[in-house]
Amino acid sequence: MYSRSNFKFPRVSIIVVNYNGKPFLKKCFSSLMKSIYPEDFEVIMVDNASKDGSVEFVSRFYPSVKIEKSSTNLGYAAGCNRGAKLAKYEYMVFMNNDIEVTRKWLLPLVQICSDPEVAICGGKILLNRPRNQLYSAGGVLNLFSIPVDRGFFEEDRGSFDRLENVAYVSGAALMVDRYIFEKLGGFDDDFFAFCEEVDLCLRSWISGYRVVFVPSSIVYHIFGGSFGKPSAFRNFFGVRNMLFTMIKIFELKNLMWLLPINLAFRFFEVFILTLLGKRDYLFYFKASVISVLLGLGSFIEKREKVQKSRLIGDFVILKFFRSLKWLKYLFKKAIFQSVL
């Protein structure tokens, strides 16, 4: 178990999870190597059994990157956890392979995460093209317990240029205090991909730690790069994993009304997408619900563990609910799905 130290400029471990992402790795690692930071940082790539020559490419052109090869595709959550076990330093950044960082992105995150009340923080994530459009400025939850990235696909006009608490920060690039990460039990391996950062951030909140959006830290993200464009298969993990998150996190008195509302909204969402000709979404919606039912036993055990470690009631999460976000969320998603 790692113990907290008191470096003025703490060293940082940057963990990049990769699966057949060779086209993105040059921009990702080249930009990381140009990062301006007054202390040491290490870069670790966890490769999930890529078949596209990713490992050979990084070994040849970025020999300082430590490579951990998995014989199977662990997914993003388990891949991050595997990288965390290899990390040497006090703070860790988990990052998609399709991220390009700016030169001064790292220090603002460290300065905020060094606050003992802060467990997790993340910066402003802009789209790679066009670079004036936001991907995420931290996240809130809508009335149906659906994660919503603030500013998603909006022009960056400075509306989110304020340091503030958020429900979660995007897993595309986030920093976490390693001591707290281990205390929380890391990411949930069973998630594979999607919503793993939401789950971790909400667990952080009810454990008495803050999650903070840091606008002065800027990175660029290729939408649909690491995991492909929006699809019914991706929706399967999104629906399933958020249901698992709700089961683990919320107090029973709140879960009893939030869960039916979430399921009703998801059914309505799938109904709309089916009308748009995306009939495969109905199949994956059913599959996600069946998956939750099959895994319910293990997640009830996880719930008991999470609830025992709770220090704060759900009000600390419910304050991030934004009832008016649901229409914009549904409209944008329907548009994306109908044209892709």
pTM above 0.85, yes or no: yes
* Residue 296 included in any domain: yes
Do 119 and 45 sit in the same domain of this protein?
yes
Do 248 and 284 sit in the same domain of this protein?
yes
Q: What is the pLDDT of residues 174-212, one digit of tens each?
A: 999 999 999 999 999 999 988 999 999 999 999 999 999
* Residue 294 included in any domain: yes
Do 117 and 253 sit in the same domain of this protein?
no
Do 216 and 236 sit in the same domain of this protein?
no
Do 262 and 202 sit in the same domain of this protein?
no
Domain that holds residue 84: 12-221
Measured distance CA(146)–CA(76) in Å, rounded: 20
Q: What CATH number is attached to the domain comprising 193?
A: 3.90.550.10
Do 19 and 139 sit in the same domain of this protein?
yes
Instruction: Tell me how many domains the chain contains.
Output: 2
Q: What is the pLDDT of residues 104-138, one digit of tens each?
A: 999 999 999 999 999 999 999 999 988 999 999 99
Is the distance from CB of 194 to CB of 77 less than 8 angstroms?
no
Q: What is the pLDDT of residue 285?
A: 86
Where does a domain end: 221, 253, 275? 221
Do 210 and 250 sit in the same domain of this protein?
no
* Residue 227 included in any domain: no
Q: What is the pLDDT of residues 253-264, one digit of tens each?
A: 999 999 999 999
Measured distance CA(276)–CA(14) in Å, rounded: 41
Do 203 and 71 sit in the same domain of this protein?
yes
Do 181 and 258 sit in the same domain of this protein?
no
Check whether the bond before 108 is cis (ω within 30° of 0): no
Is the distance from CB of 317 to CB of 167 less than 8 angstroms?
yes
Measured distance CA(151)–CA(133) in Å, rounded: 8
Do 263 and 150 sit in the same domain of this protein?
no
